[in-house]
Structure 1
Amino acid sequence: MALINSLTLSFNDKTLEQAFLRATFDRTRYQGRTAMIVGMLVYLLCGIIDHWFAPAELVDDVWRTRLTALCVPTFVMLVTFTPWFSKLCHLLLAAVGFAAGVGLICMQILLPFDSSPYYYPMMVLVTFYTYNFIGTRFAFALGVDLMLLVAYNLLFGKLMAYPLQIMVSHDFFIVSANLIGGSTGYLAEHGRRTLFLRERELDNQRQHHLTRSLHDGLTGLPNRDLLYDRITQAMSEAQRHGSIHCGFFLDLDGFKSINDKLSHKVGDRVLREVGQKLIATVRSIDTVARIGGDEFFVLALDIGNEAAATGFAAKLLDQLTRPIPGIPDEVDLGASIGFCLFPYDGMTVSDLIHRADEAMYQVKNNGKGNFKMADCTSTLTAFGT
């Protein structure tokens, strides 16, 4: 299924269409403002020819018509500085082109037939202006210029009975302007939308690769690189605000027997289940990372004090000792946890992980299935605890 409607150039996906309009809004507003300033200047300069081709008694009427038409771009220009413009920008910009064309038609109606060759070329300019300069969407510009073409023929061909050869001559240039300007406007908008899709695809690919580079391929958890970055941020935050954080180093007990007895495929499923258990246990502000093999690390922010950290470790241990569906009961899976409060004097990310790792190994050497805090509490006093 095509992403872009070939007639209107809208994206078939409404969410994608809204994203495109938001992404191009600043350009549309800037182009619209520029086009309105230039267009109003040209519209006013057109009045120079009134001196030669408008009867003296009609000059004031022509100028009143011209200035009335200029009220529309003046109003739209003011709206560009309000939130309303973001909702109606393309419709309002199309209205500017429509007002310019209607104003020219009204001026030409006021003038005698002999003056028409000097004023109708402005209709050709309005056609190009609406398609290629004002910044409205192709579909709106097409609607405006077709309405002006029909109105021009009805008013001057039927109502004012311009000679056929004159109408054919005028139509030839106006229709040619529509074909050339419309084709250019169509291709330009199609190109912008295609470029938007390509840039969006590249952004998604970059985000995908970034996510893959910072997350564990098996569990989807943050990897060591992302964990280091978040600990670094936590260190900076702690030193600014005096808060206390904690790092928990977890190593699974009995995991090797799962790989040996039940296969590595089952072992991989266990690791994913453990990751999900940890995510379900911690808070949204915390980080659960897999740093290798059956080793996990939990960064708990703003833990408060040693008692809270101890309770948190007990909660993690309780979750990890619960049975995993599909794993035989005789398989004894547990965890050993070492944790370290921070910040402390001379702290580095590597040192924090090392201290928590050492505390975890002390648990391993003393029977496993427990938790222990690393010896870093004495240095926390310097940070106001």
Structure 2
Amino acid sequence: MKKLSIPTSASLDCINEYEREKEEEYDSFRVDSDSPSHHVPRPSSALRALREAVGSVSNMEDFERIEKIGSGFFADVYKVRRKLTNQIMVLKVNKGLTATKTRQEVELLKRLNHPNILHYIGSCIHNEQLHPLTEFVNGGTLKSLIQDVEKNPFPREQRIQLSLDMALGMEYLHENGMLHRDFNSNNCLLRKEGDRYTAVVADFGLAAKNPNLMKDLRCNQSVVGTPFWMAPEVLHGKRYDKKADTYSYGIVLCEIVSRKDADPDEIPRNDNFSLNEAAFRELPEVIGSPCPPAFIDLACNCSKFVPDERPGFPIIVRQLIQLHLISVPPSPVKRISWQDRALKNETIIKLMKDTSTTTK
């Protein structure tokens, strides 16, 4: 299979060029010497904006790091325990983003409120940098579930349900005017309750408003996202919109169908970076997949080369709900026959007679 030359790292150059502004120091107070009450500390505009943006602020020393659970180009992720309350959380330690960009991420997280979106708790400030605190999701990543072939049979109903969960989260994000821009199976977490999993969309470090508003940027010189899931228009440096998220979602669906890695050597691509639909459908893992044909069609449609040919998330949600209703029929209502009802009445009458005899 032909190996494609896909960029191996993401760049924020064009974003930083758009949003770069004079960095404001995180000093807490300033003194106005011309004021009669100059001895009273007055909060700076930067501090007021920061407090409004992040809500709850903590010190890094307030937490004990339990284990490192993830690492990426822009951040390391830790499972932590708040010393005072023993509450388990997740701390994302940013390492490659500007202060402006991390603050934008926190502002976005604080505004989002949906069961399929990672819940924001607060932020830590360390070395004049914001580090988000979020809920701890106990079921690992979708990618780990997909690739754990030996332990997880991954039944059809579960595949459809998790796909619907992710689509609902992405639909909510788009309805609020945001693009994720780094949607992939590593950024979909699983909340486990008993034997049931719920998918939660996470990692909004690259999320932004419609990037087409950045008219003066030379965005064709850089790419944003994780390469194997990037839409062709992003990889080619062209203008893009929310349909780029749809493409990334489509590759995740291809992972769910085939249980293969998103690497082009595993899930075949065309020379233009779009999904090679014919070759994908011929994979033994796809031919033998328990997913219904309509689900495989949806995965391929979301991964089309032309953005306008990809469905939006409202359509994706409707299609998945229909598939879910077909794949997971409602539990049948237990009907009581006249024989069972008669037997139940006889039992009640017998119990009443026994009680009457005992009383006498």
Give your verdict on TM over 0.5. no
Q: Give the TM-score normalised by structure 1.
A: 0.19
User: Between Structure 1 and Structure 2, which shows a larger proportion of helix residues?
Assistant: 1
Bigger radius of gyration among the two? 1
Structure possessing the higher relative contact order (Cα contacts under 8 Å, 6 or more residues apart) = 2
User: Between Structure 1 and Structure 2, which shows a larger proportion of strand residues?
Assistant: 2
